[in-house]
Amino acid sequence: MPDSALHHGWMAEALRQARKGWYSTHPNPRVGCVIVKDGAMLAAGWHEYTGGPHAEVNAIQSVDKIPAGADFYVTLEPCSHHGRTPPCTDAVIAAGAARVIVAMQDPNPEVGGRGLEQLRANGIEVISGVLEAEARSLNRGFIKRMQQGLPFVSVKMALSLDGRSALANGVSKWITGEAARRDVQFLRAQSSAILSSAATVLADDPALDLRLTKADLGQQREPRPPVRALVDSKLRLQGNEKIFSTDGEIWIYTCSDDAARRNLLIERGAQVIRVDADAAGRVSLTAMLGDLSARAINDVHTECGSGLAGALIEQRLADQVVLYLAPHLLGDRARGGFALGELTAMDQRQPCRLCDIRQIGDDLRLTLDLQRN
Ligand SMILES: [Zn+2]
């Protein structure tokens, strides 16, 4: 078998290891590692949680001794700096690795490549870029945060088959069935934050909580309750909505200076974060997302009405849309899902690329990447 096919096979196994951290590594990246010698896998490891051992160290420590001359397959460049744990390059060098094969370099422009250089300087052969696209999709939020200072933003929307999100009178419970609503719980669990708006919270009073346990998620530890980030330009929330009595931090983004309302929400346990206003006098979504990134939020899962959803798309801040389509029609008097300005030519359309489609209960789930035109 040619070397490249071998590398792909073992890297696929390392990626499988990394995926075990799908729900838990935040804000760190998901990373897996396998150690191979003479065609046999000696050890495997993955990064489980921030502050815990990295994948390479978990793999090394999973067996008594790694013989010298082994190949290390890692889905991300080993770290060479002292963070919460000692550098992985030291551990790989101490284990006497012959080759280190990585899927991708560290996306942090300040450290990217240094780990690989250090390995090479210690006589280790380094191969980079094996199954890179797969490794990138595993950590798209982490990568975007490191490279752009913004989180990956996914907008979830439940629509009737004719694209309607609510009746004309605003009633939207429930467009989709129970299975789809349970599926959304998994989207919440894999995200660093749930984003919504004061308008949605005041209208629907959602709990925006996580009701899945470690058993549901196949994890060893209970999932952390998600951060709920809310756009509340004028501080209209009262502090008695359901989200204030469910688990998880509440971060309220506002451009209001109303101290009384601010103090009330702080007393109710929320953090109130003042950001710049946009031209319309509402919270600047760019400023808000920049702040979320600075707070180590990799992936934002948005559950909101057509206003915020449309604004995120129009301002090119959303990366993905997850549409749940229910098999019924609400008619053209019902409300649409995305408030976008009126288009006058077809070339103004927002193009999407269909990445995944599947049936969830009686509903369809479409995952679409938003294309930049
Ligand atoms: Zn490391």
Distance (angstroms) between ligand 1 centre and the Cα of 214 equals: 25
* One-letter amino acid of 140: R
What burial class does residue 86 get, using C-beta atoms within 10 Å of its C-beta: 0-12 exposed, 13-18 middle, 19+ buried? middle
Quick check: 20 pLDDT over 70?
yes
Co-location of 109 and 162 in the same domain: no
Confidence (pLDDT) at 4: 84
Tokens of 370: 């938003």
Contacts of 366 (CB under 8 A, 6+ apart): 321, 322, 323, 325, 354, 356, 357
Quick check: 187 pLDDT over 70?
yes
Confidence (pLDDT) at 1: 67
Confidence (pLDDT) at 372: 81
From 138, 163, 194, give the residue that closes a domain.
Answer: 138
Co-location of 126 and 157 in the same domain: no
Share of the chain above pLDDT 70, in %: 99
Confidence (pLDDT) at 373: 65
Quick check: 55 pLDDT over 70?
yes
Question: Which residue range forms the structural domain that includes residue 71?
Answer: 3-138
Tokens of 119: 């390995």
From 138, 165, 186, give the residue that closes a domain.
Answer: 138
What's the pLDDT tens digit per position in 123-165? 999 999 999 999 999 999 999 999 999 999 999 999 999 999 9
Co-location of 108 and 176 in the same domain: no
Alpha helices in 219-328 (DSSP H): 259-267, 285-294, 306-314
Co-location of 203 and 332 in the same domain: yes
Distance (angstroms) between ligand 1 centre and the Cα of 273 equals: 32
Quick check: 84 pLDDT over 90?
no
Co-location of 104 and 163 in the same domain: no
What's the pLDDT tens digit per position in 215-259? 999 999 999 998 999 999 999 999 999 999 999 999 999 999 999
pTM beyond 0.85, yes or no: yes
Co-location of 183 and 325 in the same domain: yes
From 138, 170, 187, give the residue that closes a domain.
Answer: 138
Co-location of 173 and 38 in the same domain: no
Co-location of 353 and 335 in the same domain: yes
For the chain, how many structural domains are there in total?
2
Distance (angstroms) between ligand 1 centre and the Cα of 88 equals: 4
CATH of the domain at 222: 3.40.430.10
Distance (angstroms) between ligand 1 centre and the Cα of 79 equals: 4
- Known catalytic residue: 178? no
> 28 has which bridge partners?
none
pLDDT band at residue 170, thresholds of 50, 70 and 90?
Answer: confident
Co-location of 228 and 131 in the same domain: no
Co-location of 155 and 123 in the same domain: no
Co-location of 152 and 200 in the same domain: yes
CATH of the domain at 66: 3.40.140.10
Contact 288, 278 (CB under 8 A): no
Rounded to whole angstroms, the Cα distance separating 227 from 247 reads 9
Distance (angstroms) between ligand 1 centre and the Cα of 47 equals: 9
Co-location of 165 and 273 in the same domain: yes
Distance (angstroms) between ligand 1 centre and the Cα of 225 equals: 26
Residue from 56, 77, 241, 303 carrying the catalytic annotation: 56
Alpha helices in the chain (DSSP H): 3-19, 55-61, 88-94, 114-121, 132-138, 140-148, 178-189, 198-204, 214-217, 259-267, 285-294, 306-314
Other C-beta atoms closer than 10 Å to the C-beta of 92 total 28
pLDDT band at residue 278, thresholds of 50, 70 and 90?
Answer: very high
Q: What is the mean pLDDT of residues 321-334?
A: 97
Contact 227, 249 (CB under 8 A): yes
**Strand 164-166 to 193-197 pairing:** unpaired
